[in-house]
Amino acid sequence: MGERQPEGDDIQDALDWARQRLEEMGVFKAQDGLRWAAAHGLVLSVWRNGPIEDAHASRPTSRRKTLHDGTMFARNSWLTRQAFDVLGSDDPFRLYALEDLILDRGMSGRDAGEP
């Protein structure tokens, strides 16, 4: 029905491969590099590669104004910074604030650099 979940040696092979790729990308050389990579992946997974991408790629309609590349870049950068802060926080409820930001439909139409 779904994809087979890795087990035993498969998990170790996947971890070894991921560590090698992260090493090749220089993630471990940068200060907080792994946290930055996780924040970027989180934003890609839950915000960027979703309905917002469809809205960004589609042509403008009367219901949706153009979502410019600069706006998308600024919003992605800002959300990645928010995710980075959440991932470094000791507050167990901090993730809910990030969820609210990601789910804020009105935010995608505003200036992305402003919370």
Residues 57-74: tens digit of each pLDDT = 777 665 556 667 788 888
Tell me what the pLDDT averaged over the chain comes to: 80
Pull the structure tokens for residue 70: 């600069």
The highest-confidence range among 25-29, 54-58, 61-65, by mean pLDDT, is 25-29
- Residue 31 in this model has a pLDDT that exceeds 60: yes
| Confidence category of residue 6, pLDDT binned at 50, 70, 90 | low
CA–CA separation, 50 and 55 (whole Å) = 9
Tell me if the pTM is above 0.75.
no
- Per-residue pLDDT, averaged over 67-90, amounts to 88
